[in-house]
Amino acid sequence: MIIKKLKVEEGFFDGLDLSFTEGLNVLVGGRGVGKTSVIELIRFGLGVDNLSSNANESSSHAVSILQSTGRVTIEAMHNGTPITVSRSAMDREPFSTTYFEKPIIFSQKEIETVSLNASGRLALIDSFDSEIAEKQKELINLNSQINNSCAQLSQSKKELSELLESTAQFQSLKNRENQLLLQQQEIQKQNASMQNSQNALNNIQSELAAISVDLQNISAVKNSLLQRISHLESLNTPLYLQKYNSQEAIKLNEIVSQSFAKDSATIQFLIKSNRDLLDTINNTINTLTNKKLNLEEQARSNRINVDNFNQGAGAILGELGRLRQTLAQIENTQRIAQDKKDKIGHIYDDIQSTLEKVATLRDLVQSKRSQIVNYLNANLLPAINSSLTPNSNLNDYSNALEGCLRGSGLKYKEVISTITQKVSPAWLLYYTHTLKYQDFANSIGLPLDRATRLLGYLSEINIGPILTAKIEDTAEFSLLDHRNYKPVEQLSIGQRCTVALSVILENTNRVLVVDQPEDHLDNEFIAQTLIKSIKQRSNYTQTILSSHNANIPVLGNANNVINLESNGQKGFIKCSGKIDSLDVKQVIESIMEGGKEAFQLRSNFYAS
């Protein structure tokens, strides 16, 4: 992509129409004329995120220049296709005519600080390959799936626990049923004449048990249907119509209104269909309830006959009937519990499958980063050494694990580091699912009782935040200083800027916009290294810089020098053109060299 124009409406740069060319563009001018403001307007207009500093700082700067009613418009070209991007001071995001690849933009502060933190160093490396950003978006989507599945898994586990608790008395009730059957057999031996009444009662009780189960299951279906109807009714909210002015917005409003009306009709149809189904369910429940009442009446009649013969036999039959209904309901609950176990197994498999996809994507990103590091070392060694340690930044993983364990009452802080280093998220999910306490204890080197308490707690909570925590690579840059490599954290500001700019300028894949790259750099580095890299970039893509240093436009053979000026109230372009144009030469001589006399004095000094 090549940025062609920057246009501004309202504010300090009202009416600005600034043209850029391919190759090197340099913004020059005295202090306070708005060079940094132009950089930040480009950033704001294209919606480019800061790599290391607060994004709100840049947005605030641009908005203060535009004022409340201002707008910035950027015209660009990408593979021969014109692109227009526009954003007002009030817009949250820019509007563009088509997709565009955002440039890399650095403020002075970012150049100083981007290499100081782990995320900034990774961002520098990732900026070389746009596919890395696409893979990171895929990772976000996969992690969203994992979080949703983990929430389902946690809820299903709670439901299963409740189901199993309600079936805990099954065996004791079954034993009691066997006892009652034995007693019933003894009574039946005493009087064979009661066999028919007893057989009829047994048949009725069996049928009652079956009806009880049916009513239980149908009631569950009814509750689900009531929830669905409630949800559909909540969706059928009236559309609040906005008042629009433009023909396009009015036309869109008509389309939206028609769409909502159509949706409302569909929802009404679904509500009616579900209510009709609810009526059918209620009718079935009433039919089964009446049948149950009739059977219970028949059962009472048969029990009376039996009780007339033997009061004890009736009591046994009554208890046996109630017991059989309870057992039938518990057996039904056991089937539901088994279905829930199967569902939990499927959810677990889905999460593990998604974690495998996450691992594959991370490996791909790490491979691309390694290639970029190798490219940087091939071009920057021995002066600057770059390195990448895969999957070594476990801070987010540790924080997520600590957050989930907080409030558990367990002593966990001293084992957080051990778990994150020795147990991957996929293995942690496996241990919490299978509850292999001994294996977990062996893997982290803890006593079995302590590992059991820890794993038991994790198995009962939603561990989605742990499974989706970032496990990042660690990028490092170091500068050769007196035959020793010093990491960026130990470098001066000037040395840090040297490292950051050296890396940034190697990226020839995207447009680069930098505010005063020469700050904190010595003139030798500017002349021998910085200028060389800038000129090399011009063969591949566009570079836009603001500068006070004459070496950058002159030795960099700038394709376009833009002299900004200000009258204190408004900024404007005083002149612009190629480096060899008369106006540009005079600007460089007067502003960047301190005037013709100062330039001549330095020339005489160097010649002597």
The residue among 284, 290, 305, 301 whose CA lies nearest residue 208 is 290
Q: How far apart, in whole angstroms, are the C-alpha atoms of residue 106 and residue 43?
A: 9
Q: How far apart, in whole angstroms, are the C-alpha atoms of residue 61 and residue 65?
A: 6
Q: How far apart, in whole angstroms, are the C-alpha atoms of residue 3 and residue 46?
A: 10
Beta-carbon count within 10 A of 94 CB: 19
pLDDT at 599: 39
Query: Would the pLDDT of 597 be above 60?
Result: no
The model carries a pTM of: 0.76
The residue among 210, 446, 414, 180 whose CA lies nearest residue 317 is 180
Q: How far apart, in whole angstroms, are the C-alpha atoms of residue 108 and residue 101?
A: 23
Say which residues have a Cβ less than 8 Å from residue 91's Cβ, sequence separation at least 6: none
Torsion of CA 389, 395, 401, 406, to 10 degrees: 160
Query: Would the pLDDT of 602 be above 50?
Result: no
Tens of pLDDT along 352-395? 999 999 999 999 999 999 999 999 999 999 999 999 999 999 99
Beta bridge mates, 24 = 543
Query: Would the pLDDT of 552 be above 80?
Result: yes
| DSSP code, position 489 | G
pLDDT at 308: 64
Which is higher by pLDDT, 189 or 482?
482
Which is higher by pLDDT, 319 or 346?
346
Q: How far apart, in whole angstroms, are the C-alpha atoms of residue 475 and residue 472?
A: 9
Average pLDDT for 522-546: 87
The residue among 38, 52, 29, 30 whose CA lies nearest residue 8 is 38
Work out the pLDDT band at 598, boundaries 50, 70, 90. Answer: very low
pLDDT at 288: 92
Q: How far apart, in whole angstroms, are the C-alpha atoms of residue 398 and residue 471?
A: 10
| DSSP code, position 239 | P
pLDDT at 593: 54
Query: Would the pLDDT of 69 be above 90?
Result: no
Tens of pLDDT along 238-291? 665 667 788 888 888 888 888 888 888 999 999 999 999 999 999 999 999 999
> In a 10 Å sphere around its CB, with 0-12 CB exposed, 13-18 middle and 19+ buried, how is residue 377 labelled?
middle
Q: Phi-psi region for residue 81, left (φ > 0), alpha (ψ -120 to 50) or beta?
A: beta
The residue among 258, 171, 270 whose CA lies nearest residue 228 is 270
Query: Would the pLDDT of 601 be above 60?
Result: no
For tokens 């047994």, name the residue. Answer: 202
Q: Among 21-25, 308-312, 367-371, name the one with the lowest average pLDDT.
A: 308-312
Query: Would the pLDDT of 595 be above 50?
Result: no
Query: Would the pLDDT of 161 be above 50?
Result: yes
Coil/strand/helix, residue 81:
strand
Average pLDDT for 545-564: 90
pLDDT at 57: 58
Mean of the per-residue pLDDT values for the chain? Answer: 88
Tens of pLDDT along 472-514? 999 999 999 888 999 999 999 988 999 999 999 999 989 999 9
Tens of pLDDT along 320-364? 888 989 899 999 999 999 999 999 999 999 999 999 999 999 999
pLDDT at 488: 93
Q: How far apart, in whole angstroms, are the C-alpha atoms of residue 124 and residue 382?
A: 19
Average pLDDT for 2-26: 95
Torsion of CA 384, 389, 394, 397, to 10 degrees: 120
| Amino acid sitting at position 402 | E
Tens of pLDDT along 430-472? 999 999 999 999 999 999 999 999 999 999 999 999 999 999 9
pLDDT at 606: 42
Beta-carbon count within 10 A of 213 CB: 17
Q: Among 63-77, 220-234, 301-315, 333-347, name the one with the lowest average pLDDT.
A: 301-315
The residue among 38, 26, 4 whose CA lies nearest residue 572 is 38
Q: How far apart, in whole angstroms, are the C-alpha atoms of residue 453 and residue 385?
A: 46
The residue among 34, 54, 58 whose CA lies nearest residue 44 is 58
Q: How far apart, in whole angstroms, are the C-alpha atoms of residue 219 and residue 247?
A: 53
The number of CA neighbours under 13 Å toward the Cβ of 81 is 10
Dig out the tokens for 473 from the structure. 């690579």
Residue % of the chain over a pLDDT of 70? 92
Tens of pLDDT along 202-252? 888 888 889 998 988 999 889 989 988 888 888 877 665 667 788 888 888
What are the angstrom distances between the C-alpha of 335 and each of 159, 172, 174, 332, 391?
13, 18, 17, 5, 44
Query: Would the pLDDT of 562 be above 90?
Result: yes
Q: How many residues does the chain have?
A: 608
Say which residues have a Cβ less than 8 Å from residue 232's Cβ, sequence separation at least 6: 267, 270, 271, 274
pLDDT at 241: 60
Query: Would the pLDDT of 191 be above 90?
Result: no
pLDDT at 485: 94
